[in-house]
Amino acid sequence: MVNDLANKSTGGGSGSPGAGAERRFPAYGVVGLLIMVVGEILLLSRFPFVAEWFTPIMWTGYILFVDGIIRRRRGTSLISKYPREFLMLAVISIGSWVIFEGYNVVLKNWRYVGLPENMVVRYIGYAWSFATISPGMFVTYELLEVMLPGAGRVEHPRLSNGVFYGFVAGGLICLIVPLVWPSTHMSPLVWIGFAFFLDPINGRLGERSFLSEFFTGRYRSMLIMFLAGLVCGILWEFWNYWATTKWEYNVPYLGHIKVFEMPILGFLGFLPFAVESYAIYVFVRRLVPIKRQVRYLG
């Protein structure tokens, strides 16, 4: 997911003066690990603030910790070297999840329980939680990409016109149908719609496209992104299960068979969700004046 500059270790070889400093595990990564450990301990003691804010607390710690591992392995990372893009990612993450909340108004797939009564505090909680969604998935993708064997991607493969227009049209249909015929049974369409609609468009605009890579024979990146979505989905549901402020689901497909609060088939939605979250981020980022050579993601 990183660009060519980010793929190069800034620490140089073993003889480079800055190599040790660049490869040392960063302090913010240690802070992230402590946040998760202390958060779990305080949750077990039912400390009210932690129990109420458990999910965003744990995701904040997780993002810091995992980014620290990436910095240690690569010598560079999103938070350590590209903090402005990290902040932009967090803001776009909020906006993209608000779109899915809008769909949920009509589809009624989930509901929140135990929310703070004070509306200002409630919306702070929303913003904090939503801001961790895309960063959590993308740092997980990077970590898996570092850990798993395989060759890197080829720059900007191109879909044939027929496949491109088929995906875009199919994605648009997936996004419109649930609004025209709202039903919980239509929910799967939302979790693939933006991936089919925006990801190929990103490829045509010269940005990274996971679908373009996959359908031109470069399977590794898509599979790793699917795995990142699944890993994050399991963590979301695990941490949500123990919190007092949480979400509960209404899923019509095997809704009675649950892992934590999530019906078992619902975990499949996290796979395309990771891809479409990246597609939304890349599409929106084109509207922000950030130079390509100083981008980290994509």
Return the pLDDT at 174.
96
2 pLDDT higher than 70: no
On whether residue 45 sits in a domain, the answer given is no
47 part of a folded domain = no
Reported as a single tens digit per residue, the pLDDT across 31-43 is 999 999 999 999 9
Does 67 fall in a domain? no
Residue 207 in domain: yes
Evaluate whether residue 143 is within a structural domain.
Answer: yes
- Check whether 168 has a pLDDT greater than 90: yes
Q: Is residue 104 in a domain?
A: yes
**What pLDDT is stored for residue 293 in this prediction?**
55
Residue 17 has pLDDT above 90, yes or no: no
User: What per-residue confidence (pLDDT) applies to 3?
Assistant: 52
Domain assignment present for 37: no
Domain count of the fold of the chain: 1
pLDDT tier for residue 18 given thresholds of 50, 70 and 90: very low
The Cα–Cα gap between 216 and 218 comes to 6
Q: Supply the pLDDT for residue 103.
A: 95
Assess if residue 121 is contained within a domain.
Answer: yes
Residue 291: pLDDT band with limits 50, 70, 90: low
Q: pLDDT (tens digit, 9 = 90+) per residue, 67-122?
A: 999 999 999 999 999 998 999 999 999 999 999 999 999 999 899 999 999 999 99
Provide the residue range defining the domain that includes 137: 81-294
